[in-house]
Structure 1
Amino acid sequence: MYHDPKPVESPSGLEVFRNGAIGRKWTRDTTVPHEAMEVEVHGRRAASTKPAVTPVLLHRLRHDKSILALVVSSTNIFAGTQGGEILVYSLDTYERVAVIEGHRGSVLGLCLSQDQDLLFSSAGDRIVNVWNTQNFSRLYSIYSTYDVGDIFCVSYSSTLQTVYLGAQNTSIQWYDLREKDTRPQPSPTSHPSFREDRFFDSPGPGGVRTPRPQPPEGGPRHATGGRILELDKQYIRQFAHYGYVYCMLLARGILSDDPTEEILISGGGDGVIRLWQLDAANGGAIHEIHKLEDGREEGEAVLTLAVEGTFLYSGRLDGEINVWDLETKQLVRNLKAETDDVLTLSVGGGFLFTAGVSGIVQKFNRQYETVTEFQAHDRLILASAFAIINDRPTFVTGGNDNTIAVWNVRDCISAPSSKRTSNEHLIESLKQFISFRTVSSDPRYKGDCRRGASYLRSVFKNFGAATEMLNTEDPYNPVILAKFRGNPAKSASRKKILFYGHYDVIPAENEQGKWIGDPFSLLGIDGYLYGRGVSDNKGPIMAAIYAVNDLKEEQALDSDVIFLIEGEEECGSRGFEDAVRNNKELIGNVDWILLANSYWLDDHVPCLTYGLRGVIHATIKVESQHPDLHSGVDGSAMLDESLKDLIMVLAKLMGPEGKIEIPGFYDPILPISNEEKRLYSEITETLLRGNPELGDPRQLAISLMRRWREASLTIHRFHTSGPENSTIIPRMAEASLSLRLVPNQTSAEVARILTDFLHSEFAKLASQNRLEVTIDHQAEPWLGDFHNEIFKTLEEAIMEVWGPTPGRRKSSVSTLKSISERHGYSDSKPSPATSSTLANGPAEGDGVGYDETSEPTTLARKPLYIREGGSIPSIRFLEKEFEAPAAHLPCGQASDSAHLDNERLRQLNLTNSREIFKKVFRDLPKK
């Protein structure tokens, strides 16, 4: 691993590299195409004849500073940054698990102990810290009695329990942790943070000393605790190299047949590689046993090292890579990489990965042929690591474009076959599903909708489901019916669970470039999956399918699970009801209905939805017998103008504070019960605990009630005939409006009284114009019984999967004391709590919002029971048609941006939803 401790950026984008022996400028011309790669072997150019396998970008993790060091454990990625932090990311979800603020200078080196319990970090602050990889606490802080400068690299011998560090002052130093209790405690004033620098703190002209800047108050947040350890002078090898010591690693079984014997290998700015024997009897002291030189010009620095078996690879300037046989100490190959200066090397699966200034990764096989190359970063690649994660070969890169990239280099090994599907397979299937532009509202994508439906049907078939395509009236998209049959031994008593979803999506043309990537190419960034339909509704569908297959593989599926996936939900479920009625015998009986097509209230607490509003979309049109006229020539009080009539009629629909004036409109609506009031109290307390900026709990509850359990009317747009100028009296004017209905209202009755009321009010105008009211679409409201078996099963599964609740703030939040009846919430109009307001609260774990350090709780995370203001046309229809209760599991977070640019779904939400579905499909039949 290489890092320039003090990069200098010029306006032209040059970065200056100083290696202690020579000066060299790095530059990259991104306009130069990279042709087919070749390898130089002792002066000969050997072109690769094997087809390249392009690696798959699994995820990209963003930060605000350069990534300088990387190591990968079995569970986490650890990344050292230019800002002194160590970032920790989960390999399962790619979420950031922790940010360890551990150093005052750039983190230049990282190393894991053999058992992965210890993490060692070296930095530009002259410190080596040792961290517990389970709780990320600091165990030791090690420093030298000398001014070593930047510590570029760190290694650890688990056998000798000795830490080795390579420094800017050309030394290699070590500390035997077995002696930590016998060595004297160091003086606090000897710590590097108290020392004067011979250069920066020296007197200037006239003997004037520049005032020394004071370090930030308290230092790095997590650089506290643990033992402070000082390196004794006898544990220092001065001038280990005649240049900076850039890189080190430990190799085993090289000098003898003992596979546990270790040697230390170091590379420096002098262009030399040295092999050191470790003296176990002398505190791990090093003794040089061999020096590897390739005969090239002195000062051609060795920037990075990698070892595989008895072969050592060293990366140098100008793309030079040397291959050494450590048994014979001979240089066996000299490769020429197209990466410019080679800043990082990794080996794994029989391949050598090289990367550097160009941002390109080049991969060599064991015949030293270039297998493939790919652009991994926009700028310098400064660190890399290879690991086998869940039988998947994984390559991780980090660069000064402030990102970490995780690659599936699947050609590296033949992973063992496994019938059990993995979350990686789930995401691969979802990626393919997202690639189909299943936009139901645009006839251009009719073919894509059909291909998307065929692909989804193939997924069902591959997992053993019996499938049918239920035709709808042309040109509507078909409905997919898939049946997974449960345990044959329980055929007589098997319950039947219906899962409803939709494969169509809304448009995402991205003509203005607002998406961070192609909307129809799944992209993983910072623990989230981005793509149109990933949250609404393709991700939840795929999670449910994989959950059923998990149970099948475990022979634990005791119920029949029926999937009904339509392709017209975003257009009002056109043709769905007829398709279900026409094939009801084929679908069969249903005991419960489950859907997953909505979101949490915020980004922290899971929810269960038990109510949805219904909707009526209507068009109100007023037409006159005269053509479009000129207001100056023909305008008069005697003329009945269509737009004026339309506005006057629409004005009769609503009174103050949005009250709908249609007679009898509110009569069927149920009053709020005391039990429902308690639910709102729980909701407001939870939301305000995470985001107190939402304000008064009572006003927040009122705002939610008006969105969820009150009917509303919205006028969406106006349209008039004639040219668009300010002098025209239009012949025709029309408006589009919607009414959101609540339980106990029926869409047919509300459509009738709306039409009657508009005609009645229009008649009072005595206008010669003609009024036409068209009901374009209607959907019934839905109210579920959150006391029944399916809701309780969902609640138990959520609590088990999501685990403990987030920490609580020390300050208590006032609960909702009382809520007035439907029309008496407040004397003043509250500011509405929109979905955007709730989604934009503080992020969990960032030091605000949920306080993980105060009042920790081990209670399971109980979901919030919520209602929603939106509508899903099919849910109430399915309940009535099959006489079965429905429940709604929101999978996404409030910030998922469904129907907006950059729609996303947190990967953890996807995989946890899979586990929740699995538990529900398994446990619900037992109720």
Structure 2
Amino acid sequence: MSPTSSSSPTSSSLSNTRPLTAASSSSAPSASLVRPTATPDTDVTDPSNSSERGAKEPTLLSTLSANDHESLLCLCVAEADATAASAGAGLSARTPSSSSSLASGRVYAGSQGGSIHVWSLASLSLIARLSSHTGAVLALELVKENGWLISASGDGTIRVWHTPTLSPLFLIHPPHDNVGDIFSLVYVPDRFISDDPPDTTSHEDCGQEYEQRQAREGAKSIWEHLGKPTAFKNAPGRGPSKERNIPDKSARDGDPRGGGRLFAGCQDTSIQWIDLQTLSSSTQAVSSDFPTSRTPTPALPPYLSSSFPSPGLVSSSPPIHRAPNKFFDNCDLKSRAIPLLGSPGHTTPISSTPRAITSSSSLTDLHRSSLAGPMKHSVTAGASGAFASNGGDGSIDLQISEDCIATYAHYGYVYCLTSSRSNDSPIIISGSGDSLIRLWSPHRSSLSLIHTLHPPPSAPPASEAILSLTTHPTLPTLFAGHQGGLITIWDLDTFQSLRILTPHPYDVLSMVCLERGELYAGDSGGGVTRCDKAFTIVQRWQAAGDAHGSQKEGAVLGMALTGGENRCSGTDIVAGRKTLLTGGNDRLMKVRRSSIASQCSQLRKRFLSRRFQVWDLVEPPELTKEQEAAQSDKGFQGELFHLLSRLVAYKSIASLPKLHAEECRQTALYLKRVLRSFGASTVQVIPNDVEGKNPFVFAHFLANAPPKVDSTGAPIPKRKRVLFYGHYDVVAADEEKEGWTHDPWKLTGKDGWLYGRGVTDNKGPILAIASAASSLQLSQSLPVDVIMILEGEEETGSAGFQEVIRKHRSMIGDIDVILVSNSYWIGEDIPCVTFGLRGVIHASLKALVDMVQILSTLTSSTGQILIPNFNASVRPLVPAEIALYDRIIDRCSPSLLTEGSHELDPKKSLIDRWRQPALSLHAITTSSPSKALIPSSAESKLSIRIVPDQSLEQVIQSLKRHLQDAFARLRTHNRLQIEINHTSTFWLASPHSPANTLLAACIHRAWGIEPLFIREGGSIPSLPFLEAEFDADAVHFPMATGQANAHLGDERIRFEHLEKGRSIVSEWLRRLDA
């Protein structure tokens, strides 16, 4: 049996669904009690003093936003499905119909507005929003073996979705319209449904026992208490049991792929169920009473139809129009929250003798009811389902049989359901606002009550409604969360109370339990309490609200676990770990990870209704080389995520040496430790020969794949060698002027992006490429030597770079291919390979008032550069290059290509930016900013971008000669001083080189899209030097999109792009020696 986590009473506000006598959730937390039932005077333990236990406040790492403004009330996680992976799915993984999103795992979250949001765990991005329910989505249940997602709503209906396509399958109606909200769901596979017991009790007997109990206690019935004494009594299905037509075993077993029974806990105190069998074409029943032209056959469910269409981002079903209900539609929310049947916790228990609530297997045919219009064709949905009409969206309408109801299953709302085993038999467990827990045995045609668990005598008097349930994954242990902060722990074999915990006064709304017995409980105060396997409270942290818990109205409404066989189906983002997801009505839904396999950093992730946050709860210890190398392949949602957060925190600003020289040195030392832990055989920090400049980091990953052999079978001793060039220095970040919305020195994730200075230029790509080499080496499949050279002065002109490379030429050795990753895509959706960069000349002029006249001679009024013979050596356009531009224009929108340019022709805009020279004036400054003083000097800064085949030296000489001639014509007594501050020649590679061709093939395989070959207008000074120094071709592989904002505010890169970049480089290195 696959037990599932319970759903808490997650409507728009908990106070609208629970008794008004509830303790206020806004009261301050008090000291917690941890005590056995038999010894209520156990010492008080204060979990808030977490520092004494070595606990640490969570560190926010990521947020993910939904695309509406509704609170998310419930959630479940789809486990990663490796069989759904397909090569080249790539960017299509962002669409809901892609199998790759199933392969990487999904998170489903139901919202107050009636939608279900679907996120991919691989890209951390929203891939779909399912809009169908007309009320809040209060419960979700995942049935992975059938590809079903089941949702229950405040509109009183249940919907079943096909997870591979996110398409609607079934719309399930209750047998009558006075059920109210459906709070909870649990699905039980058919193999766990027992045969009928020999003696059962009818619905009428259950109702009589209920009324007899109320008469004995002298309490009002719920109907009298709420002023509607006949609202349910005369409703269909409340009378004597009807004759049942139970199918034989072969009919019950259904399709070999297996069906099961869905149980729903309702606001009208009942538990209802319906059998959902997987269908085959032979079960389709078509009426012959009407012509085919008038009654088209309903579409088969998606898993039966190979041509079922893939939906768009939003998949909608027709709204349900229920007839007005005198009871639920006439009383306001406050009236619906009146206490049920007196004070919970003090009711007299009903007889503990097992009894059965019987059901009928007869099917209710919707098209034979009072619906207007001709009869429609139907499909049989199971032993207790319905004949149904085909909806406009392909879904099938089903209705629960009137006899498939456990009437008066509780004396209050059935807030939560879960499943487990008791004495090796499968059971259903229900919790209610009446403070009772009931254990049920599911039978073919009935639901038998096994036992009722009452609040223990030692429990506080205020122990009220049962709001959440969960069970131990392997032991017969039940955890129940109560209103008022109580957690009771039960033995499901002996039905004895094991322990009572009262960690706080807040309502316990959700709980999950790890396989090792560690319990997490979310509460209405916005906190999560953690208990160890001995039921000792270890820690409580603020989860709902903002990162500091200042939002007092937050509540943790739902929880789920991922990673392995546990309470919930789910995907473990990092192998070998558990992930805890929590959702709140303060528009916060969070995910946290607990390390199971090792003592490495315990990354926790948080999903929010409008934000998805990632938290690091525990500072990781220093790891050995073997430990951290084993973590290096766990991706940017795992250990690399944590490493990048620490790397971003270093303010390695090379342009401000007086303030940050030591931090730059610490950055180099940190990278040394990381690369050594990744498995590099040699790692060194090399000092810069230029005084006051930052050091270099050198690392060498030795090839360890089996060597290639020649025609005689002898191994080829020489291995190819790849040199990766990167830089760890970053530009300064002015939060106010640049408009940062996040702390630039704190890694922050939002909507699938990682924000922080250096995440894209160049710290993120450095870790991605180092991890790619490390993962290949760890698997004994690295076929080439990988040498990494990381400098700390790239943003200031690479001072000392050439000297250090030449000085350590023998240590670096011969190089076959140079790899760089320091650029961006042209847009957001098409991967690119950069094959050309312009060169640059930075110059400064010093003069007085003559400055303006001199500068005016550099360009014409139309922007043409007037330096003599400046354009004479520019390489002309050839047809092959024009074809590259045409391919770009064909695949990109014109507005994208002309963005930020006055040129409206997309092709001319690209040519001007990428392969034509340019002159820019950056600043003019004077020696005195005062208006009362005449400055003694003035200085201007300008730059010239050069392109193939301009000579750097010739352009510099032409510039100097032109400026000196212009100055001489002024006949002034002032002096002109020209300084060339920095130079870099252009770089141009062949798109058809073997290394570029292989890289394009690897990108195509990863993203499923052929990349574009592009050029850029910027410069990387070290790249042409490295090509010339080592006589090797260079490959420039951009990972970031065109909206990366490098050197600007809110610099960012997508999680998915770092992950894909890592896998692309790994594949490229693996195939480079083929």
Deviation at 1:536, TM superposition (A): 0.8
> Which residue of the partner structure matches residue 303 of structure 1?
467
Task: Confirm whether residue 172 of structure 1 aligns to residue 271 of structure 2.
Answer: yes
Which residue identity does 1:734 align to in structure 2?
E
Deviations 1:846-871 (A, max 9, x none): xxxxxxxxxxxxxxx11011111111
User: Is the 2:134–2:319 Cα contact (8 Å) retained in structure 1?
Assistant: no
Choose 681-690 or 355-364, whichever is displaced more.
Answer: 681-690
Structure 2 vs 1, CA of residues 244 and 796 (structure 1 numbering), >3 Å: closer, same or farther? same
> Which residue of the partner structure matches residue 682 of structure 2?
466
Deviation at 1:344, TM superposition (A): 1.1
Structure 2 vs 1, CA of residues 657 and 357 (structure 1 numbering), >3 Å: closer, same or farther? farther
User: Is the 1:102–1:223 Cα contact (8 Å) retained in structure 2?
Assistant: no
> Which residue of the partner structure matches residue 324 of structure 2?
196
Choose 460-469 or 471-480, whichever is displaced more.
Answer: 460-469
Which residue identity does 1:493 align to in structure 2?
K
Distance 1:721 1:546 in 2: 50
Distance 2:703 2:817 in 1: 15
> Which residue of the partner structure matches residue 70 of structure 1?
75
Structure 2 vs 1, CA of residues 199 and 677 (structure 1 numbering), >3 Å: closer, same or farther? farther
Deviations 1:687-720 (A, max 9, x none): 1299799799971222122111111121112211
Distance 1:610 1:99 in 2: 39
Distance 1:547 1:440 in 2: 27
Choose 407-416 or 442-451, whichever is displaced more.
Answer: 407-416
Other structure's SS at 1:437 match: coil
Structure 2 vs 1, CA of residues 567 and 364 (structure 1 numbering), >3 Å: closer, same or farther? same
Aligned pairs for 1:415-426 (under 5 A) are 419=630, 421-423=633-635, 424-426=638-640
Any stretches of 5+ residues in structure 1 without a counterpart? 8-15, 205-221, 623-641, 804-860
> Which residue of the partner structure matches residue 145 of structure 2?
115
Match of 2:906 among 682, 688, 700: 700
> Which residue of the partner structure matches residue 8 of structure 2?
2
- TM-score, normalising length: structure 1: 0.82
Match of 1:476 among 693, 697, 704: 693
Distance 1:226 1:125 in 2: 17
Other structure's SS at 1:664 match: coil
Other structure's SS at 2:892 match: helix
Structure 2 vs 1, CA of residues 44 and 913 (structure 1 numbering), >3 Å: closer, same or farther? same
Distance 1:36 1:787 in 2: 70
User: Is the 1:470–1:583 Cα contact (8 Å) retained in structure 2?
Assistant: no
Distance 1:925 1:690 in 2: 41
Deviation at 1:224, TM superposition (A): 3.0
Deviations 1:380-432 (A, max 9, x none): 22111122222112111112333332212226987998947321233233223
User: Is the 1:269–1:299 Cα contact (8 Å) retained in structure 2?
Assistant: no
User: Is the 2:702–2:786 Cα contact (8 Å) retained in structure 1?
Assistant: yes
Which residue identity does 2:1033 align to in structure 1?
P
Distance 1:607 1:339 in 2: 56
> Which residue of the partner structure matches residue 887 of structure 1?
1035
Distance 1:589 1:302 in 2: 71
> Which residue of the partner structure matches residue 486 of structure 2?
320
Match of 1:591 among 816, 820, 826: 816
Structure 2 vs 1, CA of residues 360 and 517 (structure 1 numbering), >3 Å: closer, same or farther? farther
> Which residue of the partner structure matches residue 385 of structure 2?
none
Structure 2 vs 1, CA of residues 510 and 696 (structure 1 numbering), >3 Å: closer, same or farther? closer
Distance 2:404 2:756 in 1: 55
> Which residue of the partner structure matches residue 667 of structure 1?
872
Deviation at 1:162, TM superposition (A): 0.7
Structure 2 vs 1, CA of residues 191 and 152 (structure 1 numbering), >3 Å: closer, same or farther? same
Which residue identity does 1:422 align to in structure 2?
K
Distance 2:1029 2:189 in 1: 67
Task: Confirm whether residue 264 of structure 1 aligns to residue 439 of structure 2.
Answer: no
Distance 2:865 2:402 in 1: 85
User: Is the 1:21–1:270 Cα contact (8 Å) retained in structure 2?
Assistant: no
Match of 1:373 among 540, 543, 553: 540
Structure 2 vs 1, CA of residues 83 and 43 (structure 1 numbering), >3 Å: closer, same or farther? farther
> Which residue of the partner structure matches residue 127 of structure 1?
157
Other structure's SS at 2:403 match: helix
Other structure's SS at 1:877 match: helix
Structure 2 vs 1, CA of residues 46 and 719 (structure 1 numbering), >3 Å: closer, same or farther? same
> Which residue of the partner structure matches residue 486 of structure 1?
703
Distance 2:1065 2:278 in 1: 53
Structure 2 vs 1, CA of residues 585 and 145 (structure 1 numbering), >3 Å: closer, same or farther? same
User: Is the 2:477–2:492 Cα contact (8 Å) retained in structure 1?
Assistant: yes
Structure 2 vs 1, CA of residues 179 and 461 (structure 1 numbering), >3 Å: closer, same or farther? closer
Task: Confirm whether residue 712 of structure 1 aligns to residue 712 of structure 2.
Answer: no
Other structure's SS at 1:87 match: strand
Distance 2:470 2:58 in 1: 21
Deviation at 1:791, TM superposition (A): 0.6
Structure 2 vs 1, CA of residues 775 and 26 (structure 1 numbering), >3 Å: closer, same or farther? farther
Task: Confirm whether residue 154 of structure 1 aligns to residue 185 of structure 2.
Answer: yes
Deviation at 1:525, TM superposition (A): 2.6
Distance 1:199 1:662 in 2: 87
Other structure's SS at 2:905 match: helix
> Which residue of the partner structure matches residue 451 of structure 2?
290
Task: Confirm whether residue 447 of structure 1 aligns to residue 662 of structure 2.
Answer: yes
> Which residue of the partner structure matches residue 340 of structure 1?
506
Distance 1:469 1:879 in 2: 23
Deviations 1:516-547 (A, max 9, x none): 54323323332222222111111111111111
Choose 339-348 or 47-56, whichever is displaced more.
Answer: 47-56
> Which residue of the partner structure matches residue 101 of structure 2?
none
User: Is the 2:723–2:817 Cα contact (8 Å) retained in structure 1?
Assistant: yes
Which residue identity does 2:672 align to in structure 1?
R
Choose 360-369 or 692-701, whichever is displaced more.
Answer: 692-701
Other structure's SS at 2:541 match: strand
Other structure's SS at 1:142 match: strand
Structure 2 vs 1, CA of residues 597 and 246 (structure 1 numbering), >3 Å: closer, same or farther? same
> Which residue of the partner structure matches residue 558 of structure 2?
383
Task: Confirm whether residue 407 of structure 1 aligns to residue 592 of structure 2.
Answer: yes
Deviation at 1:230, TM superposition (A): 0.7
Task: Confirm whether residue 239 of structure 1 aligns to residue 430 of structure 2.
Answer: no
Any stretches of 5+ residues in structure 2 without a counterpart? 1-6, 80-104, 194-259, 288-294, 299-317, 333-390, 546-553, 564-571, 601-625, 708-714
> Which residue of the partner structure matches residue 61 of structure 1?
64
Which residue identity does 2:70 align to in structure 1?
K
Which residue identity does 2:594 align to in structure 1?
V
Other structure's SS at 1:658 match: coil
Deviation at 1:794, TM superposition (A): 0.5
Distance 1:460 1:18 in 2: 55
Deviation at 1:108, TM superposition (A): 0.6
Structure 2 vs 1, CA of residues 696 and 507 (structure 1 numbering), >3 Å: closer, same or farther? closer
Choose 400-409 or 692-701, whichever is displaced more.
Answer: 692-701
Distance 1:392 1:406 in 2: 13
Structure 2 vs 1, CA of residues 655 and 25 (structure 1 numbering), >3 Å: closer, same or farther? farther
> Which residue of the partner structure matches residue 687 of structure 1?
892
Aligned pairs for 1:595-674 (under 5 A) are 595-622=820-847, 642-643=848-849, 645-674=850-879
Deviation at 1:886, TM superposition (A): 0.9
Deviation at 1:465, TM superposition (A): 2.6
- TM-score, normalising length: structure 2: 0.71
Over the aligned positions, Cα root-mean-square deviation in angstroms equals 3.1
Match of 2:1026 among 878, 896, 904: 878
Structure 2 vs 1, CA of residues 692 and 545 (structure 1 numbering), >3 Å: closer, same or farther? closer
User: Is the 1:718–1:736 Cα contact (8 Å) retained in structure 2?
Assistant: yes
> Which residue of the partner structure matches residue 96 of structure 1?
126
> Which residue of the partner structure matches residue 988 of structure 2?
783
Which residue identity does 1:395 align to in structure 2?
L
Deviation at 1:202, TM superposition (A): 6.9
Which residue identity does 2:1065 align to in structure 1?
F
